[in-house]
Amino acid sequence: MGLHSGKVALISGGARGQGREIARRLAAEGADIAIFDLCAQPATSQYPGATEEDLAETVRIVEAAGRRCFHRIVDVRDHAAVSTFVDDAVAELGRLDIVCANAGLVTWIPFLDLTPADWAEVNDINVTGAFNTVQPALRHLVEQRSGTVVLTSSVNGLEPGESIGHYTASKHAVLGLMKNLALEFGPHGVRVNAVMPSAVNTVMGNNSTNLKWIFGRDDATEEDYLAATRQWHVLRNQPALTPDVVAGVVSWLVSDDARHLTGISVPVDAGHLVLPGFNHNPITE
């Protein structure tokens, strides 16, 4: 018997990266999986979006573990489409126990250069997308008086970052939403928590736009990225995390081992948030 045998988990942004690893981990531990993703590049995104082939690969991984995988191409910003997907997933898989609001987008744009479209797309995916995923799912969890929800925030849910004011605002909002949901739905037997990853070695972090933002040049490599991200972590020789690390924490949070935990945000950051800060570029005149 696996840690999550007999359970059903629903994951937004499940085609690749953290979403895929969460699906892989929960399926390996006995859960049936429902995943959806946009499978396209959002209009303001600075890196490639997931593809239909990515989604198919996640389905293959889940089914190879002997679990069912209900899947669909859905835009997390489309409340009606997400609601239909959630209801159809429950009808197909029989129940719903775990909800991972994981879909996200970041872009690197100085605040004075942000357009309303830049601001809206990041917040629509990261915040409204979380609402769209969690609200219809919670209707099922309330009815059965059990279940657990994990929202994906970021270390930027607690700290600022250069040229990501819109993303930082969205990830702060995700933590606020998590706390309110934990308060409101605890009496219904539903737990709600969040994870706050640091740098993770997925397309979202390891892409040409982010590498240029970090290094100020066009020829930076993945090796450069891994070397630089060691400076973001306090644990010895720890570069950008692999997404399975985040998946492992999610699996624990939604397990019975964490059954008394709700309303918390867990840093998955190799100690990033305990590093002391200082001004690298003080103005002296």
Integer CA distances (angstroms), 208 to 117, 205, 218, 242, in order? 22, 9, 7, 18
Write out the two tokens for 93. Answer: 């898989």
The set of residues, in sequence order, having a beta carbon less than 8 Å from that of 150 and lying 6+ positions away, is 98, 99, 100, 101, 192, 193, 194, 195, 250, 253, 254
* Residue 99 backbone phi and psi in degrees, to 5: -130, 125
Write out the two tokens for 73. Answer: 């191409």
Is 167 noted as a catalytic residue in this protein?
yes
Residue type, 277: G
How far is Cα 107 from Cα 44, in angstroms, rounded to an integer? 8
Q: Which is the catalytic residue, given 167, 195, 210, 253?
A: 167
**End-to-end Cα separation, the chain, in angstroms:** 66
The catalytic residue positions are 167
